Structure 1
Amino acid sequence: MKFNYMQCWNGAMGLLGAHKEAIIAIAGVFLFLPTLLFAQYVAQPILTGDEDMDGLFAIYSAYFNENALSIMASNLVISFGGLAIYFALAPSRDNTVAESLMAALKAFLVYLVANLLTGLVALPGLILFVIPGLYLTCRLILVPVIVADQQERNPIELLKKSWSLTKDNGFSILMFILIIAIVGTIAVSVVQAVTGVGVGLVTGGAGWPFIENLVAALVGTAFQLVLTVVTVSIYLELTGKKAAV
């Protein structure tokens, strides 16, 4: 099926509105909270702006080495929450929040393996030419929805099914996701900048890290939710399925 930008966006907003209670419940615990805690308790690398590539590599290597456990735990919790939201939105399911969480737990290992394979497929393209890597990623973007909506638990078959569903629409999906990503990134940056200026004025320049981290976690979670419902809407459009409300 051909890909329609406006229809897909309207479908995504419809999904967000129809499933807002389940989405907010899962996202609050498994997306927002880990993001806030990580920002609050794990200090980011301090850069002066004069670092060369070797200097940046050394700084970030030390940062990842010192915070490997926190980074891994945070990413696993957020990934699990994201998968649970896909289960809540899957057209073939009508789950409660608890049922979505349990279903996501049962499929989580398969999901992680499929994500690893997706990364391995896209990485050479990202390193060499960027655009081919992004294209490959978009061809495999439906993997988490297929995990949630279908009974397939073979990671290789998950990639094959996503590749088949996105046939002839890879570049259309890429452009659509890029538009959302660019607009979303600008919006998030503006909100964070305004928050930083406002907090700076109120505190006399001292700042209030908790408020800044809270706002950053909120807008970051909202952005991730938009990308999630858009991905499900792409799946619905390309399969011709209807959303379960």
Structure 2
Amino acid sequence: MTLSLAGVLADARTLWRGERELLLPIAGVFFVLPMLGIILLLASSGFPGDVPPEKLREAVMAFYAANLLPILLANLAIDFGTFALLNLYLQGGGRTLGEVLALTLRRLLPWLAIDIVAALLFSFGSSLLLLPGLFAFGRTWLAGPAFAAAPERGVIEAFRQGWRSSAGFGWIVLLAAAGFVLLGAMMLVVVSTGLLAGLGAAVGDERIVVAIGYVVTALIGGFAWSVLAVLRVAAYLRTAPKQGM
């Protein structure tokens, strides 16, 4: 079955509804909380402050160096949550939350290898031009679901399957789906910021509004990350319908 944006979005909506009871706790613990932690870390450090644009890269590197451990732990939690959602959908229905988390933990190292390699390919491609980076992203985005669906085939075969699944215009459809979600999340952040500004004027206590803003931003980020994971599953199932899923 070929990829289409409308088809992937429709399938993702069905998948979301089918596993909401387990999906939401996973997203809350492994997406929302780590994202809130990163937001609070940024706020407490005053980043980026009054850094001029030409020194922004140096400021980012300095922030990462000063907060390496908490950032790594937050990213690890988010990666774990992403893999848990893939396993939730691609390892058969009827599993309990504990079974999904235990399965995810046992297979986490190969999954992290896939995630790191895909990120390096994207970074290398983006360092050349934007298009090669996007191409690398689109062609490797389904390697994770391929591994979750058939871990016994190994990491290399997962990349091969992901590459085959995104052939032709498939990688463009995947980019469009991911872009659709990220753009929607950005719009939600902008709208919520405006609403919170109005609330701040009414309440008169900026600290309360700022705290609410942190939580709302983390909730939006967690929701968007969850949708991206479900989209990956939907796209993979559309391109590999005979893999026993």
Task: Give the match for residue 67 of structure 2.
Answer: 67
- Alignment check: 8 A CA contact 2:121 2:136 kept: yes
- Alignment check: 8 A CA contact 1:15 1:243 kept: no
- Which protein has the bigger helix share? 2
- AA at the equivalent of 1:21: E
1:174 equivalenced with 2:175 (yes/no) = yes
Shift of 1:200: 4.6
- The 5 A counterparts of 1:39-78 are 39-42=39-42, 43=44, 44-48=46-50, 51-53=52-54, 55-78=55-78
Shift of 1:153: 5.6
- Alignment check: 8 A CA contact 2:181 2:224 kept: no
Distance 1:242 1:160, change over 3 A: closer
Task: Give the match for residue 129 of structure 2.
Answer: 129
1:119 equivalenced with 2:126 (yes/no) = no
Question: For residues 244 and 212 of structure 2, what CA distance do their matches in structure 1 show?
Answer: 37
Task: Give the match for residue 9 of structure 2.
Answer: 9
Structure 1 gaps of 5+ residues are none
Q: Give RMSD over aligned pairs.
A: 2.3
- Alignment check: 8 A CA contact 2:31 2:222 kept: yes
- Alignment check: 8 A CA contact 1:9 1:230 kept: yes
Task: Give the match for residue 80 of structure 2.
Answer: 80
Task: Give the match for residue 202 of structure 1.
Answer: 203
Q: Deviations over 1:114-163 (max 9, x none)?
A: 11111222222211211221122111111221222112363222211100
- Alignment check: 8 A CA contact 1:107 1:153 kept: no
Q: Deviations over 1:191-244 (max 9, x none)?
A: 234224423531354553321111111111111111111111111111125997
**Share of identical aligned residues, percent?**
24
- Alignment check: 8 A CA contact 1:145 1:235 kept: yes
Shift of 1:69: 0.8
Q: Secondary structure at the match of 1:220?
A: helix
Question: For residues 94 and 70 of structure 2, what CA distance do their matches in structure 1 show?
Answer: 34
Question: For residues 23 and 53 of structure 2, what CA distance do their matches in structure 1 show?
Answer: 42
Task: Give the match for residue 22 of structure 1.
Answer: 22
Give the alignment's TM-score, normalised by structure 1.
0.89
Structure 2 gaps of 5+ residues are none
- AA at the equivalent of 1:46: P
- Alignment check: 8 A CA contact 2:143 2:160 kept: no
- Alignment check: 8 A CA contact 1:88 1:96 kept: no
Shift of 1:109: 0.7
- Alignment check: 8 A CA contact 1:31 1:81 kept: yes
Question: For residues 191 and 124 of structure 2, what CA distance do their matches in structure 1 show?
Answer: 33
Distance 1:95 1:131, change over 3 A: same
Distance 1:14 1:235, change over 3 A: same
Question: For residues 96 and 26 of structure 1, what CA distance do their matches in structure 2 show?
Answer: 12
- Alignment check: 8 A CA contact 2:36 2:218 kept: yes
Q: After superposing the two structures, state which structure 1 stretch, 79-88 or 154-163, moved more.
A: 154-163
Q: Secondary structure at the match of 2:50?
A: coil
Give the alignment's TM-score, normalised by structure 2.
0.89
Q: Secondary structure at the match of 1:152?
A: helix
Question: For residues 120 and 33 of structure 1, what CA distance do their matches in structure 2 show?
Answer: 26
Question: For residues 195 and 48 of structure 1, what CA distance do their matches in structure 2 show?
Answer: 23
Distance 1:243 1:27, change over 3 A: farther
- Alignment check: 8 A CA contact 2:114 2:155 kept: yes
Q: Secondary structure at the match of 1:99?
A: helix
- Alignment check: 8 A CA contact 1:140 1:163 kept: yes
Question: For residues 227 and 192 of structure 1, what CA distance do their matches in structure 2 show?
Answer: 23
